[in-house]
Structure 1
Amino acid sequence: MFVKPFRVKSNTAIKGSDRRKLKADISAAFPSLSADELSELVPNKEELNVVKIYAHKGDAVTLYVLHKNPLFFELEKQLYPTVYVLWRHPDLLPAFKTWPPVLQKMIGGADLMLPGVVLPSSGLPDVNRGDCCAVTVVNNRAPLAVGTAALSSADMQSAGMKGRGVCVLHTYMDSLWAFGDKSGPPSIPDAESEGRELNGAECEVTEEEEEKAKSQVEEEPSPSETLTDQACSGVEELSLAVEEGEKGEKDSEEEEVQKDDQKMPQEIMDALLLQCFLHALKSKVKKAELPLLTSTFLRNHMFSCCPSGKQLDIKKSSYKKLSKFLQAMQQKHNLVRVKELTKGVESIVEVDWKNPELRSFSVPEESDGEAATVQDGGEGETPYHPPEITTLYSVPARLEPLFLDANKRKGAMLQPAEVRNIVTEYVKKNELVDENNKNFVTINPTLCDCLLEKSEYQEVESLKWDDLFSRTLGRMQECYEVVFPGLAPVRKKGRIEPIDISVASRGSNKKVTLIKNLEVYGLDPGVVATALQHRVQASSVLQPVPGSKDKVLVQIQGNQIHQAGNLLLDHYQIPRKYIQGLEKAPKGGKKK
């Protein structure tokens, strides 16, 4: 679930009543926790944040964060602990043990398959289907993954330990773990390995065991599959789960990498914000432009200075708002002077061009054009190319006799031109062209059964060519073929769903624009939402489409049909016939 980065919708401090409810929910879900342990996890006086996010597939998830570490996540009204909690309470959940190579597959997005489970002498943990459970690796009791049991313990054994065992939701080293302090798992020897001599080896995993383990997980498409061919020592280094000794000194390079890894996402966004700010002042803003609206400065200058492949998001910084960031630049750095011209409208009225920090800043080598393209287009490093969409027609059982000579059976998908050619060849082969008028085709028994209604059997003896073709296509099922550059063609029955743009009303009669079916055309809803957000400077969120498991819709404030249409038509080059709802765009007022 958290293999790819997620989108943060909101981050707020928890209320007192909600804190008490959370405690009650945790106590009910995990009754083994004592009152003291519960108070330690959810302290009364320390700040606890509720973070609402959307996972990359559109699932709405609620995180409960303490000291910048996510403790629990709530999905479909069920609480799950994160690895940070399980490292403090390793026995909180029933745990399944597996090999380190299998862990690397789970980090890449795979579920735990039963053949990859290491059976302890005490037997499998007692679980029912859907129960929350953890996954550990051999020689370390610290849980490294959280999920739900796909089967009960009895069903696992009756199935011969074959099939899916644990549906994995969260793992060490995924994006949820990265949302915290990125600390590594502790080394907690299990009862079976405690006191066992390892002859100087920290983890003995034979090549056969490793290969067997690699073949015993179900893979999902994931960019992180480069980790799968590690040797035993490489697996130890990556998982950190089977290391029992941390002897020896780390060299300076490893220490620097570790420091970078522990750098908080907020600090990284703060650094990016400062870089874009200095870049914009040094290369974009001219003295003649002052006073300059702060919103214009952000939209036209700072966003265009964002490096390729990165996204500037003030809400993810420690400042949260542009006004607070500019105040800091004014008070601490003396770089600019900001003044409120009218209520709620601020402008940059002065820039200290001689400021040492500004003068010493060197503009990145990346061209402004590239950065602007990424920001405005929103497609990131991979340019988008629209697919080729072709309308096809499927041969039904009723028309099969008409297509037998062309070896086209029931279910064959043909282009309209192919249908015309096959029908024309059939007419010529059977000499059905009317001798007196070649614009007409004589109806034989086959054409009668295929194309005529029962009421026409005795009345219609011939048809015009156009009528013949239209009747043939009208009795065939419409299909479509989508071809994306570099990918195999995809054929589906029915008509292709157009991208639907509509406007809805929310509380207090506020308008929002909804865009759905972007996935059909190979568009990432998150990327489109970001691109549109930059264009109109309004907040956007992703929401799951009711009744669909793998589709999400983009919701953006205001009636943005015009801007959304321009983005899809001009930048993504989607043909107008595949976009629905453009006629609802607001029209400009009449000139008086």
Structure 2
Amino acid sequence: MFTKPFRVKSNTVIKGSDRRKLKAELCAAFPSLSAEELSELIPNKEELNVVKIYAHKGEAVTVYVLHKSPLFFEVEKQLYPTVYLLWRYPSLLPVFRTWSPVLQKLIGGADLMLPGVVVPSCGLPDVKTGDCCAVTLVKNRAPVAVGKAAVSSSEMYSLGMKGRGVCVLHTYMDFLWAFGDKSGPPSLPEDDSEGQEVNGEKYEVSEEEEEEELKKCVEEQQSSGEAVTDEACCGLEELGIAEQEENKCEGSNEKEQENGDDLKTPQEIMDALLFQCFLHALKSKVKKSELPLLTSTFLRHHMFSCCPSGKQLDIKKSSYKKLSKFLQVMQQQHNLVQVKELTKGVESIVEVDWKNPELRSFSVPDETGVEAATVQEGGEGEVAYHPPEIISLYSVTARLEPLFLDAKKRKGMTMHPAEVRSIVTEYVKKNELVDENNKNYVTINPTLCDCLLDKSEYQEVESLKWDDLFSRTLGRMQECYQVIFPGQDPIIKKGHIEPIDISVASRGSNKKVTLMKNLEVYGLDPATVGTALQHRVQASTVLQPVAGAKDKVLVQIQGNQIHQVGNLLLDHYQIPRKYIQGLDKASKGGKKK
């Protein structure tokens, strides 16, 4: 479920009433937890966050986060613990054991197949179909996966230990694990007195027999047809368990060796992407005339634009964490650039070694993305955005229907302002209502009197100027607007179109945040806009549902970022300025000396 990146919909602090409700649900779902343990997991005074996410296949998942690590996740109203929680309480769930090389398949998205299950002398745990259970590795009781039983224990025996055993939902090294502090599992040795059984037969494990059994279970796991995604990461070295077995097993799977990404952690993959974008930017974007170049400008305008389509460049997910540290490594270990602090607190790239062998041998990839490209569900890049065409319309009301009967315009039908003027002009000429003495005036007949005049004007107003006639007609019609997106049918709605509203608010300790809403009206995905802004200003963004508005999301980003928001909407998304409200609230910088 979490083998690919997920999209965060909202991240809020849990309310007191919901906290009590969650504690009751945990008590019912996991009765083995004591009252003290429940209070430790759901503390009354510490901040507990509720994060609502969409998995890559569209599943709605609620994640409960404490101390920056996810503890539980809820799918279809059923609670599951994460590996972080199970490392603290390894006996919380029924456990199925498997060989350490199988973990690589589970990380890639495969389910646990019964041929790979190591049966203890006491037998399999008693589970029913759909029960929540955990997966551990031989020689370590620390769970590495969480799922639900595909069949009951009795059915597992009756099937001869063949077929699917556990439908895996979450594993160590997946993207839900990466959402936490990314710590590794503890070493929890098993009881050596327990014998081991495979397929129900007890035996002592010799090195040669163990090697043959490992090859057999991995082949069974691979032949089950379960997909191993590109995001699969080995991670077995970090476990610090069964290293000899995994080295032997790696030789049995040539396909996994061919794919280098399968042997890298997400952090290592991000490091490689960062280095690729760095070399690409130096080779194709940076010119000698631009030096010295601010490091922030180099990242924002050069490196991000070199990120391949369908991928996201995020320094915080790399081992460097900060741009300054990354550039320091590029300077000291690779001798690619020289970075100096020309102004206090502001670093610049002052020199590039264009003859560096690594830079000269680097070949520029053909396909590159743009700054705002983000990974969508299914792994495809963002479709190019085209602003909608917005047209003001007017709808015929019951009061004005007699005026438009000759033009066959009934109540509720919409027209352009020019069409309204044309129909009114035709009506006046047809009924010979133009004042003979002054053609700038129109004589009021009974129909115009009923449609356009107030009751107090019935006896007093005998004629109107043309402009007054048109303005009164439009003023008594229902305002509407039409939105036309490229390749889609027009959408007509009543009232004024809501502008994109940008505002600045204060949070705790007088910190400023920038808020945006009504992006959906213009066909903009709030998550995509939030990611593009995050790349531009290197500040965190949060998506929150708008109170009282269905299907609307508020984008919040740290600091007063109205300048950057305005530039993104006006230049990149090409939204007309008249449909953006709040650009005048941008912070005004001091005068340069």
TM-score interval for Structure 1 and Structure 2 normalised by the shorter chain: 0.5 to 0.7
> Who is 2:544 aligned against?
543
- Using the alignment, how far apart are the partners of 2:354 and 2:591 within structure 1? 45
Moved more, 331-340 or 390-399: 331-340
Moved more, 476-485 or 427-436: 427-436
Deviation string for 1:326-379 (max 9, x for gaps)? 45546665655666677754555776666655454333234xxx64xx116889
> Who is 2:130 aligned against?
141
**1:272 Cα offset (Å):** 1.0
Deviation string for 1:10-65 (max 9, x for gaps)? 9xxxxxxxxx99996774353434459x79x98xxxxxx988756469x9965449
**1:579 Cα offset (Å):** 1.6
Shift in CA distance, 472/327, structure 1 to aligned 2, threshold 3 Å? same
- Indicate the SS of the match to 2:549: coil
- Using the alignment, how far apart are the partners of 1:503 and 1:238 within structure 2? 49
- Using the alignment, how far apart are the partners of 2:252 and 2:406 within structure 1? 75
Deviation string for 1:360-406 (max 9, x for gaps)? 4333234xxx64xx116889642221111111112222222222333
Shift in CA distance, 452/301, structure 1 to aligned 2, threshold 3 Å? closer
Question: Is the 1:8–1:52 contact (alpha carbons within 8 Å) kept by the matching residues of 2?
Answer: no
Structure 1 counterpart of 2:395, which letter?
S
> Who is 2:371 aligned against?
375
> Who is 2:477 aligned against?
476
- Using the alignment, how far apart are the partners of 1:274 and 1:22 within structure 2? 47
> Who is 1:173 aligned against?
none
- The RMSD of aligned alpha carbons is 5.2
- Using the alignment, how far apart are the partners of 1:472 and 1:334 within structure 2? 74
> Who is 1:498 aligned against?
499
- Using the alignment, how far apart are the partners of 1:64 and 1:445 within structure 2? 70
Structure 2 counterpart of 1:190, which letter?
S
> Who is 1:323 aligned against?
324
- Using the alignment, how far apart are the partners of 1:444 and 1:21 within structure 2? 71
> Who is 2:31 aligned against?
32
Deviation string for 1:298-336 (max 9, x for gaps)? 234322322233321112223322234345546665655
| Pairing of 1:520-531 with structure 2 (within 5 A) | 520-531=521-532
- Using the alignment, how far apart are the partners of 1:8 and 1:477 within structure 2? 36
| Pairing of 1:117-266 with structure 2 (within 5 A) | 141=130, 188-190=150-152, 237=225, 255=256, 264-266=265-267
Identity of aligned residues (%): 67
> Who is 2:419 aligned against?
418
Deviation string for 1:75-118 (max 9, x for gaps)? 9xx994269799998899xxxxxxxxxxxxxx9xxxxxxxxxxx
**1:414 Cα offset (Å):** 1.8
| Pairing of 1:363-512 with structure 2 (within 5 A) | 363-366=364-367, 371=369, 374-375=370-371, 381-512=382-513
Shift in CA distance, 141/463, structure 1 to aligned 2, threshold 3 Å? same
- Indicate the SS of the match to 2:555: strand
Question: Is the 2:504–2:512 contact (alpha carbons within 8 Å) kept by the matching residues of 1?
Answer: yes
- Using the alignment, how far apart are the partners of 2:22 and 2:472 within structure 1? 68
- Using the alignment, how far apart are the partners of 1:201 and 1:333 within structure 2? 51
Shift in CA distance, 22/91, structure 1 to aligned 2, threshold 3 Å? farther
Question: Is the 2:337–2:352 contact (alpha carbons within 8 Å) kept by the matching residues of 1?
Answer: yes
What TM-score, normalized to structure 2? 0.60
- Using the alignment, how far apart are the partners of 2:571 and 2:397 within structure 1? 39
- Using the alignment, how far apart are the partners of 2:31 and 2:332 within structure 1? 51
- Indicate the SS of the match to 1:492: strand
What TM-score, normalized to structure 1? 0.60
Shift in CA distance, 388/196, structure 1 to aligned 2, threshold 3 Å? same
Gaps of 5+ in 1: 11-19, 43-48, 93-106, 108-138, 145-180, 203-235, 241-249
> Who is 1:246 aligned against?
none
Question: Is the 2:433–2:442 contact (alpha carbons within 8 Å) kept by the matching residues of 1?
Answer: yes
> Who is 1:271 aligned against?
272
- Indicate the SS of the match to 2:481: strand
Shift in CA distance, 377/404, structure 1 to aligned 2, threshold 3 Å? same
Question: Is the 2:80–2:146 contact (alpha carbons within 8 Å) kept by the matching residues of 1?
Answer: no
Structure 2 counterpart of 1:317, which letter?
S
- Using the alignment, how far apart are the partners of 1:444 and 1:492 within structure 2? 33
- Using the alignment, how far apart are the partners of 2:311 and 2:158 within structure 1? 49
| Pairing of 1:55-134 with structure 2 (within 5 A) | 55=53, 62-64=63-65, 71-73=71-73, 80-81=79-80
Shift in CA distance, 263/415, structure 1 to aligned 2, threshold 3 Å? farther
- Using the alignment, how far apart are the partners of 2:340 and 2:442 within structure 1? 82
Deviation string for 1:501-537 (max 9, x for gaps)? 2223334434333222111111222333333444445
Structure 1 counterpart of 2:371, which letter?
Q
**1:572 Cα offset (Å):** 2.1
- Indicate the SS of the match to 1:141: coil
**1:477 Cα offset (Å):** 1.3
- Using the alignment, how far apart are the partners of 1:182 and 1:401 within structure 2? 75
Structure 1 counterpart of 2:130, which letter?
R
Shift in CA distance, 182/554, structure 1 to aligned 2, threshold 3 Å? farther
Question: Is the 1:504–1:511 contact (alpha carbons within 8 Å) kept by the matching residues of 2?
Answer: yes
